[in-house]
Amino acid sequence: MSDNSTRLKPERAVLVGLSHRDQNAEKLSEYMDELEFLAHTLGLETIKSFTQNLDAPNPKTFIGTGKLNEIVQFSKENDIDVVVFDDDLTPSQLRNLEKEIELKIYDRSLLILDIFQARAQTSQSKTQVELARYEYLLPRLTRMWTHLERQRGGTATRGGSGEKEIETDRRLIRDQIALLKKKLQKIDKQMRTQRGNRGAMVRVALVGYTNVGKSTIMNILSKSDVFAENKLFATLDTTVRKVVVENLPFLLADTVGFIRKIPHQLIESFKSTLDEVREADILVHVVDISHGQFEDHIKTVEKTLSEIESLDKPTILVFNKVDQYPEPPEEEWKWEGEIKPAIKLGDLEKSWMAHQDHQTIFISATQKINIVKLKQVLYDKVKEIHAKRFPYNSYLYELPSDQEKKD
């Protein structure tokens, strides 16, 4: 009885982060906020955050001995279930920490992998996540193997596996990786055929950092019901809808959100999902203007787009959540722990519109602010490509109706 009642409670977690030569205290604070949001997305309850400043991560335990003892002591006294590290741990760091802490340990990659696993809906994304998890697991075979198997619904009950058993496990995992890669190739081939069958219709892809409101914009433009909530990675499977603005049809894809320090295995596994971005004619890059680090988010997205050779596509930069932008009350103001110069939203709009290569627009998807203008900008961009592709369909290009302007 008591077991069932405790299982319903969220697992209690402490977060651990490190500032060092390559990551200053300010940057660490941003990452720790994001880590807490990631933990919340997985359903963990954050009890406390521990941070430390070292020249470089400790090669044996990531953090110093004193800080480690402090975490062990706190965890025992406060019934902690999980310890979450903001960076990736090496296999030896993980083994050493497991011996000392004797609790379930997540590093940033495993946390993101588990969120992806919980969110995966289609055969493609489930296979991609499983492949990424096995590739993450292969060099890290410790007693964590049991924990991962249990989460996958496996029946492994190994305790302290000896070298021989770990070797057997490695072979099993390598076999599983090979099988999943074959399965993924087959799915990718089917997806390519599916995309090819869409014909020459203009393709638009929504891209952006995770949790910026892409799915809400998708719902407004396509009048469909796409899962949208205030959690990281709410969208994992790419959703494609046919959208008609005025009488001009095009395809709109809502894609997985990007994030800083994303696991390498995930980028590799999800490259096929990003084919929707690679094959798009137009990108709509959505930015959460109310977030204190929105400029960093833009850089992260542009870096990922560059990695998949999609940075030079025609792009509309959409600054969303203008209704949540904290207008400064005075000359200097505190925002997310920092003193910032007072920048009013109107000034921000002018500066971005003046300095961007891309067309920019400021909206609120939830409050329907500037949505008609967004549709008009999108219409003009799609029309430009459509006119080249279908030069005899000029009857399509009419000015937006009075009815549309009223919407």
User: Residue 174 contacts by C-beta under 8 Å, 6 or more apart in sequence?
Assistant: 138
Q: Taking all residues of the chain, what is their mean pLDDT, rounded to a whole number?
A: 79
Which of the two residues, 252 and 397, has the higher pLDDT score?
A: 252
Which of the two residues, 357 and 67, has the higher pLDDT score?
A: 67
* C-alpha closest to that of 184 among 265, 109, 130: 130
Q: What's the one-letter identity of residue 382?
A: V
Q: What mean pLDDT comes out for the span 162-178?
A: 80
Q: What mean pLDDT comes out for the span 187-202?
A: 73
Gyration radius of the chain's alpha carbons:
24
Residue 398 burial (10 A CB sphere; 0-12, 13-18, 19+):
exposed
- Report the SS3 class of residue 14: strand
- Spatial separation of the C-alpha atoms in residues 20 and 242, rounded to whole Å: 48
Q: Beta strand 332-335 with 338-341: parallel, antiparallel or unpaired?
A: antiparallel
User: For the segment 339-391, what is each residue's pLDDT rounded down to a tens digit?
Assistant: 454 577 777 777 776 666 778 999 999 999 999 999 999 999 999 988 888 77
What DSSP line would sit under 249-312, residue for residue? Answer: EEEEEE-PPB-TT--HHHHHHTTTTTHHHHT-SEEEEEEETTSTTHHHHHHHHHHHHHHTT-TT
Q: Beta strand 282-288 with 12-19: parallel, antiparallel or unpaired?
A: unpaired
Which of the two residues, 1 and 26, has the higher pLDDT score?
A: 26
pTM of the model: 0.74
Residue 205 burial (10 A CB sphere; 0-12, 13-18, 19+):
buried
User: For the segment 271-312, what is each residue's pLDDT rounded down to a tens digit?
Assistant: 666 778 888 999 999 999 988 889 889 998 998 888 888 889
* φ, ψ dihedrals at 26, nearest 5°: -65, -45
Report pLDDT for 393.
Answer: 62
- Report the SS3 class of residue 240: strand
Q: What mean pLDDT comes out for the span 323-338?
A: 64
Report pLDDT for 239.
Answer: 74
Report pLDDT for 215.
Answer: 84
Report pLDDT for 354.
Answer: 61
* φ, ψ dihedrals at 48, nearest 5°: -160, 150
Report pLDDT for 72.
Answer: 96
Report pLDDT for 2.
Answer: 43
Alpha carbon distance, N-terminus to C-terminus of the chain = 55
User: For the segment 3-23, what is each residue's pLDDT rounded down to a tens digit?
Assistant: 444 456 889 999 999 998 888
Report pLDDT for 271.
Answer: 65
Is a pLDDT exceeding 50 seen at residue 158?
A: no
Which domains can be identified in the chain, with CATH numbers?
2-106 (3.40.50.11060), 119-193 (no CATH), 200-406 (3.40.50.300)
Which of the two residues, 315 and 358, has the higher pLDDT score?
A: 315
Is a pLDDT exceeding 80 seen at residue 150?
A: no
